[in-house]
Amino acid sequence: MSTPTTRTVRRGLGAGLRATSKVLPEHARAHNRSLVLQHLFHEGPTSRADLARATSLTRVTISDLVNVLLAEGLVEELGVQPGRRVGKPAILVGMRTDAYQIVAVDLSDDAVMRGAVMTLTGEAVVRRSLPVAGHVGDELVDLLTRFARTLISAATRPVIGVGVGSPGVVDGAGRVVEAPNRQWTDLPLAAILTDRLALPVHVANDANSAALGEYTYGGAADSMLVLTVGQGVGAGVMVDGSRVHGAADAAGELGHVTVVEDGEQCACGRRGCLETVLAAPALRRAVAGLDPAAADEALAGVGRTLGAALAPVVGALNLGEVLLSGPADLLDGALRSAALQTLTDRTMPATAAGLRLRMATLDEDVVLAGAAVLVLAAQLGVS
């Protein structure tokens, strides 16, 4: 079976846009295009007339846009809308979510790189992993390049882009400002990989990627926080459906907020950070050798600390949900209920009434899914 090359895809996507460039400036066309794709992605097959109503664009604009998207192979006509008895039958248009694929890489684990080829709806169709084997700095960038190439060549459809969830602080352009454990400082990772792979590459912090993944594919609330608990503790925040970046691109760094005065030494050089009590290794140490009741009491104690740390964040942003992503045997029990109780006790009834504190739904694929959303949002305007 022959598949079009990625080069063909990119030319196809660009050429389609240029074909209708007579009237509207490019940014307006791109905006309209993403309105249509966003609607089809979330609402499913829709007639041109209903697309016009849903997007407030004219019938002519919708018709032109659909023709372009048909030519690009991003949408298809799906036959006649059932149930209509009068007038011209309306043909449904649907997004071809299986026509293209996305390559996603999760760098959150110190020991192993995880990657997948994903459909536009976030299903992994090919999975690969590669031991990091102590590589850091430029060597790690080289290893990541090779890993991404193997994933791209394993794709069964044209690839529209590559998404990477990386530890550390990552700016909006995909530059890793600092990721000490990877020995990356001020590294333009997205630009380097875009150049080497000849595909659009988008990079974001791993916990921020997790938030995007849960938002787009996991059905999370519009205003929510995903707390990732592994070797470290990170968080990604969405407010009113948008990812929060912050003044220095470090929004969500809740793991290094002090929660224990003169507590244990933290990897960041300070003492008593949330990470020192909530990271998975710390939780395992806290329950080691305890009987189930004592283990639950220890986990509840950490849950109360977590609830106290989350309360001002939840209160200030009026979050609807907090999602915990990490080992369920440690998080999804006494720890979670104690954290919710503390959160409820420490926030206004209006804030706490509808608040949910639950486990994330995408398990260990959450960063990969979010890395795919980075590409989906940047290349197609869908999130």
Q: Which residues bind Zn ion (CB under 5 A)?
A: 256, 266, 268, 273
Least separation, in Å, of the C-beta of 292 and Zn ion?
30
* 74 vs 273 by CB, closer to Zn ion: 273
* The token pair that represents 8 in the structure block: 């063909």
Beta-carbon neighbour count of residue 346 at 10 Å? 16
Least separation, in Å, of the C-beta of 266 and Zn ion?
3
Largest CA distance in the chain: 75
Tell me if 287 sits within 8 A of 295, measured CB to CB: yes
DSSP 8-state code for residue 134 = T
Least separation, in Å, of the C-beta of 285 and Zn ion?
17
* The token pair that represents 188 in the structure block: 């333009």
The residues, any chain, with a CB within 8 Å of residue 221's CB and separated by 6 or more, are 319, 320, 321, 356
Least separation, in Å, of the C-beta of 253 and Zn ion?
9
* 48 vs 256 by CB, closer to Zn ion: 256
The residues, any chain, with a CB within 8 Å of residue 204's CB and separated by 6 or more, are 163, 164, 165, 166, 170, 174, 212, 370, 371, 374
* 141 vs 302 by CB, closer to Zn ion: 302
Q: Which residue is listed with tokens 């000490």?
A: 180
* 33 vs 256 by CB, closer to Zn ion: 256
- From first CA to last CA, the distance across the chain in angstroms is 31
> Which of 129, 324, 371, 126 has the alpha carbon at shortest distance from 226?
324
16 Cα distance to chain centroid: 28
Strands 159-166, 201-205: pairing is parallel
* 227 vs 266 by CB, closer to Zn ion: 266
Least separation, in Å, of the C-beta of 180 and Zn ion?
11
Tell me if 148 sits within 8 A of 105, measured CB to CB: yes
* 235 vs 371 by CB, closer to Zn ion: 235
Tell me if 148 sits within 8 A of 193, measured CB to CB: yes
* 78 vs 268 by CB, closer to Zn ion: 268
Least separation, in Å, of the C-beta of 232 and Zn ion?
9
> Which of 243, 255, 172, 169 has the alpha carbon at shortest distance from 205?
169
* 258 vs 361 by CB, closer to Zn ion: 258
Least separation, in Å, of the C-beta of 309 and Zn ion?
13
Least separation, in Å, of the C-beta of 332 and Zn ion?
25
